Amino acid sequence: MNLSQRQLIRIASDIRDQLLKLKQTKQREVQSKQTGLIEQMERLIKIRRKLNLCDIRNWQSTGEKVLKQAESALRDIPFHIQQTEQAIQACNIAVPSVAEVYRELIQADEEFDNLVFHKQGDLLGVTTDAIELNDVYLGEFEIQLHLPSLAEMRYNNIYRIYAMDPHPASSNDCVTHPHVSDERLCAGDAGAAINMALTAGRICDFFLLVRSVLTNYNPESPYVALDSWFGTACYECGYVTGSDETCWCDCCEHEYCCECSSYCRRCDESTCLSCLDKCPACDDLVCPNCKSVCPECGEQLCQNCLDDMACPCIEENKENENDESKNEENEEAANVTRIDTNEKRDGNFNVACQTPGPAEGVIEKILGIDAA
């Protein structure tokens, strides 16, 4: 035993004093809850007087409004009664004697064989055996109870879980156990039992309950899962790598391995492959933050291509305009050709009609007709 009998008695006396202060605090809470209930009852008394006055003076319309006030007041009374009952139940827990607390300390020393008291911080502590969960070695932990906090029962500050031989998660040095972060324990369902043991002065039960949480793993609510203890699992493929070998994607806010991530060719920020898209104009990989919408066609492309008016829809519009102009030129040329052809045909036809042919001259000679 590290502590002498005199030290244990002094610690037991200190614990009892803190628990007495806690009970006084809870008694004041009962008075506060009773005050709320009394105020509601006084409100009902006033409403009763109003109803009596409405009845005497036959104010039916006003009486209906007062009845609604009574209904509202009655709905609030069960809540105040429940709050008062809970405060009374919390205050009914008996404060143990110094001898009872002393026996709790003796039992705790026998269970852990290393009960210690840090005078500088008013911390009462025990050390667990080396803990290993799912083949992950976590080392020994000291469960430290801050005695002055017993009077206020601030459960977030009343005890700490100190790692004697830290083996923290590779992704977070503050997590020394799947259920411990910044030396604070996430007790889960055991939280109520731990708080009850402290309120009743059952110090040994408190240490045993906390050790039970530390030696068991709940995969549904860890700060860091044991599967990812030695690294970070890629959000895309699930491959576990060291924290220095992963890339954080600001777009979707997840960790990715090197195989499932790249970078934006515009802002050079690390981005997962799922968030990167090819710009339809330049085929570069760009992140959502570096893409803009073309006002003409609604296509998403990088800002550089949009500034340079390099959207495919602009090229298509130019080609369509060129094709239309060529078609117009071809149509004009065809029209000119048709006009020339018609004019030539019309001119030959007129010449043929006006100029006598060779047969006509022969006939004139044969008949001896003078052409003049």
Which DSSP category does 355 fall into? Answer: S
Identify the pLDDT of residue 118: 92
Identify the pLDDT of residue 351: 43
Identify the pLDDT of residue 353: 43
User: 112-160: per-residue pLDDT in tens?
Assistant: 988 999 988 899 999 999 999 999 999 999 999 999 999 886 656 799 9
Identify the pLDDT of residue 321: 54
What confidence category does residue 362 fall into, taking pLDDT thresholds of 50, 70 and 90?
very low
Mean pLDDT of 214-225: 91
How many alpha carbons fall within 13 Å on the CB side of residue 223?
20
pTM over 0.75: no
Alpha carbon distance 105, 9 (integer Å): 9
Identify the pLDDT of residue 363: 43
**How many other C-beta atoms are found inside a 10 Å radius of the C-beta of residue 56?**
8
What phi and psi values does residue 45 have, to the nearest 5 degrees? Answer: -65, -45
User: 46-63: per-residue pLDDT in tens?
Assistant: 999 998 998 898 988 888
- Is residue 173 pLDDT above 70, yes or no? yes
Identify the pLDDT of residue 214: 95
What confidence category does residue 365 fall into, taking pLDDT thresholds of 50, 70 and 90?
very low
What confidence category does residue 349 fall into, taking pLDDT thresholds of 50, 70 and 90?
very low
What confidence category does residue 97 fall into, taking pLDDT thresholds of 50, 70 and 90?
very high
- Is residue 2 pLDDT above 60, yes or no? yes
- Is residue 341 pLDDT above 90, yes or no? no
Please give the share of the chain, as a percent, with pLDDT higher than 70.
81
Identify the pLDDT of residue 329: 61
**Secondary structure element (H or E) that encloses residue 231, with its range:** none
What confidence category does residue 161 fall into, taking pLDDT thresholds of 50, 70 and 90?
very high
Identify the pLDDT of residue 369: 47
Burial tier of 161 (Cβ tally within 10 Å: 0-12, 13-18, 19+): buried
Mean pLDDT of 24-28: 87
Please give the share of the chain, as a percent, with pLDDT higher than 90.
31
115 touches 207 (CB < 8 A): no
- Is residue 205 pLDDT above 90, yes or no? yes
What confidence category does residue 364 fall into, taking pLDDT thresholds of 50, 70 and 90?
very low
Identify the pLDDT of residue 274: 87
Question: Which stretch of 35-39, 231-235, 263-267 has the lowest confidence by average pLDDT?
Answer: 231-235
Between 249 and 356, residue with greater pLDDT = 249
Identify the pLDDT of residue 243: 61
Identify the pLDDT of residue 181: 93
Identify the pLDDT of residue 49: 92
The residues, any chain, with a CB within 8 Å of residue 353's CB and separated by 6 or more, are: none
Q: CA dist 364 to 57, 170, 200, 353, 359, Å?
A: 146, 124, 153, 18, 9
Identify the pLDDT of residue 235: 82
What phi and psi values does residue 175 have, to the nearest 5 degrees? Answer: -95, 100
Identify the pLDDT of residue 142: 96
- Is residue 307 pLDDT above 70, yes or no? yes
Identify the pLDDT of residue 366: 43
The residue type of 118 is H
